[in-house]
Structure 1
Amino acid sequence: MTIHPDIEGYDLIGDVHGCGATLAALLEKLGYQQHEGVYRHPRRRAIFLGDLIDRGPHIRQAVTIARRMVEAGEAQIVMGNHEYNALAYCRRAKTCSGREWLREHTPRHNRIINETLEQYREHPVEWEETLAWFMDMPLLLEQDGLRVVHACWDQPLIDEFRRHYPDARMTEAFLQQSVEPGSFAFKVLDRLTRGSHISLPGDIEIHSGDGFTRRSFRAHFWARNPRTYGDVVFQPDNLPGDLELRPLTEAERDRLSYYGPEEPPLFIGHYWCEGIPALPAPNIACLDYSAVKFGRLVAYRWSGERRLDANHFVWIRVPQEEWARPWPWEIDFD
């Protein structure tokens, strides 16, 4: 497949998490110019990898930039787990007995979404419109020779999903079913927006840099014959002790997805990478470099190459001053 003849390529942008001022700076570095409230490029289009919201200082602005670009045809987007979480948090359960909300309002869940809700508190109509826009986001994109998903490309699961949902968008009924463990909807949302997790043995826990305690670790999906935890772990937090040497069980290996080197270029976010952007595989780029933890907001400039090139990464460091920086005056969001 070839890129649409009207454009020369796509700029894929990783998890923004409310770093709106840095997103504007990155777009400008990529050659996009704001005209009548929309960032545009004469020869390229952007693709956002999801997770626009939560944690950062300029969430409304980040969402507005992306949404205006998408609605103007200047960009596309896939749903991240944080957009999905927001939808479930704000939807009352219709079928689940004993559950008031699809995503229960626990202290942990409240903490994750608190910054988003606070920044939209004085804009309730805008928040409802934003949730409606989230519902319209596809879970994946496959076009012009590239693939995009927030966390994990699982081909058999995607094939089954697209047989029922050809546009890769979920319905209200699918959203309601997605909180029921074991359901098809749960499997799709969990794998595509959260990726694979492996439970830690016994009572071992990871105390993450973001302040949460976890009993599992994130696993990647491009090791052909993984044997140990260390072969698949993909997160900034180290595994405790010598767990990287622990052999994977047959059941753990069977639950992992696999994306081979012969597959088309794939772009993902989600995994909180750190340091200088690098390619985990010749045909896979992860673009989440912990922007909201004062890391980097990263893009990849793709122009049709089948073998990716680390020289095509473009990024902006997120300074702590963003948290005090006023929003650029030239965009009127209200």
Structure 2
Amino acid sequence: MITVIPDIHADPRLLEASLSMAAGSMPAFLGDFIDAGATASYKPDDAAVLSSVRRLVDAGEALAVMGNHELNAILFHRKGSDGRWLRAHSDKNCKQHRSFIDALGIATPAALEWTGWFLSALPLWHEGEGFRLVHACWSEPDIALIRARRPDGRLRLEDLPEIADESTDFGRAVKLITSGREELLPEGRSFRDKNGHLRRHVRLSWWRQGHSWRDAALSVPDPEELPDSPLPASFTPAPRPADAPPVFVGHYKMDGVPRLEADHAVCLDYPHAPCLYRWRGEARLVGENLHVVPSQ
């Protein structure tokens, strides 16, 4: 049995509670261990969370994949050959990364050591016997493209520039599986996110069966703002083989009560109702194995 644990975001109490529920099984982390965010209602401790996770992963007592926040951190603390940061130190990016910066600094030996561990220890995906882990999007063509260069799914320093500027198919594939798919809304359409910001690009689910913007959209407070029209032809997820193992993802900050939307894939990232999944070998996911983590 494995217990799949989604985004911790520097919350040591959530990590402790999740690991307590995972007792007797192998914890399997979906990434995003760091970066509490400006509106966190808890006291973040990036270093404590990372230390706990690292002890388990390095000892072979837990599985873990890389999240987009780990990937962003790797880029944030390194410069390209032109002397510029691979991830801009803009107000927005610094605000998003604030709890990590406060704990470990910018490009300090500690920050570089931890982000180096992300590179060496956290693959972009994990394919186990009967299950799959990826932070945001399982896309067979994109994973195959990455696997051709990096069979174990682990990135190297020389990959970073093309990931930073998404200048190659390889760089764009890494971005897709760690951050998911976004599409530009039809001309003249937009929506406001949970912070009131006006947006024209929307995240789209790859596991739902819906074919309209409203059906597929994620992280949209009011789906009625979106057009109830068909998605563009460019959004055509690759066919899923009938015998493909179930996939576990985090990343999407889902609202409401944790739930299964499909029996072949589940998003476990519910910030206001943290949850996990106890996988017991089933080929089709079942609601009874989805558990809410008690309030810390």
**What is the TM-score normalised by the length of structure 2?**
0.89
| Cα separation, partners in 2 of 1:212 and 1:116, compared to 1, 3 Å | farther
Give, in angstroms, the shift of residue 204 of structure 1: 4.4
What amino acid maps onto 1:280 in structure 2? Answer: E
Residue identity over aligned pairs, in percent, reads 30
- Computing the radius of gyration from Cα coordinates, the structure with the larger value is 1
Unaligned runs of 5+ in 1: 1-8, 32-40, 320-334
Report the CA distance shift for 1:115/1:222 in structure 2 as closer, same or farther (over 3 A).
Answer: same
Equivalent pairs counted in the alignment come to 289
SS in 1 for 2:35: coil
Residue in 2 that maps onto 1:109: 93
Given the alignment, which residue of 180, 183, 195 partners 2:168? 183
Instruction: Please name the residue that 2:231 is paired with.
Output: 248
Correspondent of 1:197 among 161, 169, 182: 182
Query: Residue type matched to 2:228 in 1?
Result: L
Q: Say whether 1:308 aligns with 2:292.
A: no
Q: Note the C-alpha offset of 1:199.
A: 1.3
Secondary structure of the residue aligned to 2:85 is coil
Q: Name structure 2 gaps, 5 residues minimum.
A: none
TM-score (norm 1): 0.80
SS of match in other structure, 1:47: strand
Shift of 1:227: 3.4
Q: Deviations over 1:137-164 (max 9, x none)?
A: 1000001111110000110111121122
Hey, what does 1:158 align to over in structure 2? 143
Query: CA 1:271/1:12 → structure 2, altered by over 3 Å: closer, same or farther?
Result: same
Query: 1:296 is matched with which residue: 269, 273, 281?
Result: 273
Matched residue type, 2:154: R
Confirm whether residue 62 of structure 1 aligns to residue 49 of structure 2.
yes
Distance 1:131 1:54, change over 3 A: same
Report the 3-state secondary structure (helix = DSSP H, G, I; strand = E; otherwise coil) of the residue aligned with 1:231. helix
**Which residue identity does 1:51 align to in structure 2?**
D
Q: Which amino acid aligns with 2:77?
A: C
- Aligned pair 1:77/2:64, yes or no? yes
SS at match of 2:217: coil
Q: Does 1:287 align with 2:268?
A: yes
Q: Taking CA–CA contacts closer than 8 Å with sequence separation of 6 or more, which of the two structures ends up with the larger relative contact order?
A: 1
> Where do residues 1-334 of structure 1 align in structure 2 (5 Å cutoff)?
9-31=1-23, 41=24, 44-55=25-36, 57-94=44-81, 100-121=84-105, 124-136=108-120, 137-202=122-187, 204-210=189-195, 213-223=198-208, 226-239=210-223, 241=225, 243-251=226-234, 253-254=235-236, 256-257=237-238, 259=240, 262-290=243-271, 295-317=272-294
**Pairwise CA distance, 1:20:** 1.1
Residue type of the alignment partner of 1:274: D
CA RMSD of aligned residues (A): 2.3
* Alpha-carbon distance change, 237 to 297 in structure 1, aligned in 2, over 3 angstroms: same
Specify the SS of the correspondent of 1:245: coil
